[in-house]
Structure 1
Amino acid sequence: MTTIAGLPLHPLLVHAIVVLAPLAALLGILCAVWPAARRRFVWLLLALATVNLALTPLTIEAGEWLYNRAGAHSPILETHEERGETMLYFSIALMVMAIAVAVLHVLSSRSDKPRTAAAVAVAVLAVVVGVSSIVQVVRIGHSGTEAKWGVIAE
């Protein structure tokens, strides 16, 4: 499926990724560093990361369809296409991070022993994956906006 109601599917799906990926990233960081948030939001985090991961390949495929329908490709459109393809790796990383937070939650709830080393490792993972995912969404979006609307004033 490449269109919906006659509109290209890619820009519609992009809006979901632009919301879901940063939301999962920020929620993952919050859950990783704050146990009270983890107890309350861990399953929401897992759901957001899952939906994001499911929509990412569809968004990439719809973008490739749109890219192939365009005639000549500008260098910035090629940059956008190349950066967009990398989002799958960031979505996978967000899913791995969400799973790690969920595993930490389950292990912590089954035992009274503090799991400090695991908590620190998951927090570091969440911060690295979360921040890099947000940065990549911005980079992809910026190049896509530039490709569509021209150079953006700084």
Structure 2
Amino acid sequence: MFDSIGDMPLHPLVVHAVVVGAPLAALLGFLFAVPRLRAWARWPLGVVAVGAFAAAVVAKESGEGLQRSLGITPGTPTIGPLIARHSMLATQLLVVLAAYGVLAVLSALVVGRGGAGVVRVVDRVLPALLVVVGVLVLVWCFRVGDAGSRAVWNPTGTQTY
């Protein structure tokens, strides 16, 4: 189901949605943490965070489908361990994006909704958590992409760029 579109593998196409969506969600979380930008970033944050998570689910499933169709296992010489590492990091990114999506939607729904002049604990804690988990999103997005690109473009580690 998640293997291809026509004769093209789906994975290299859909990863671009994660590469754009995850950092954009993190950026919107950073903007949401600034009280005067909160109203502007509120709903885009929730929508983009959920969309990035959905794209990551499709990317992970399509990557596993591509791996199966190519017959790559962790024991496959040279590329097998690299793909296994990429897959492990992608699973971790999925967990981080799920947590970020929950935080983003929860923040959009409850932060700053306490009435005029009321500053609640959640108005400080949730934006701070968004920033911390947003940094994790950026770091894991980089790590997953780096592992995947090394597996595809430099599996022997002999190229220097």
Length-normalised TM-score, structure 1: 0.88
Matched residue count: 151
More helix by share: 1
Map of 1:117 onto structure 2: 121
| Seq. identity, % | 34
Map of 1:22 onto structure 2: 23
Q: 1:7, 1:127 → 2: CA distance?
A: 37
Map of 2:11 onto structure 1: 10
Map of 2:93 onto structure 1: 87
Structure 1 position 116, deviation (Å): 4.9
Superposed CA deviations along residues 47-91 of structure 1, whole A, max 9, x for unmatched, are: 101211222211111000111223324311110111112222111
Length-normalised TM-score, structure 2: 0.85
Which AA in structure 2 matches 1:25? A
SS for the counterpart of 2:117 is coil
Assess if the C-alpha contact under 8 Å between 2:57 and 2:94 holds in 1.
Answer: yes
Superposed CA RMSD: 1.8
Which AA in structure 2 matches 1:79? R
Assess if the C-alpha contact under 8 Å between 2:11 and 2:62 holds in 1.
Answer: yes
Query: Mind listing any 5+ residue stretches in structure 2 that lack a counterpart?
Result: none
Which AA in structure 1 matches 2:101? M
Q: 2:131, 2:49 → 1: CA distance?
A: 15
Equivalent residue in structure 1 for 2:109, among 103, 112, 118: 103
Following TM superposition, the consecutive aligned residue runs of length 4 or more in structure 1 with deviations greater than 6 angstroms are none
Map of 1:40 onto structure 2: 40
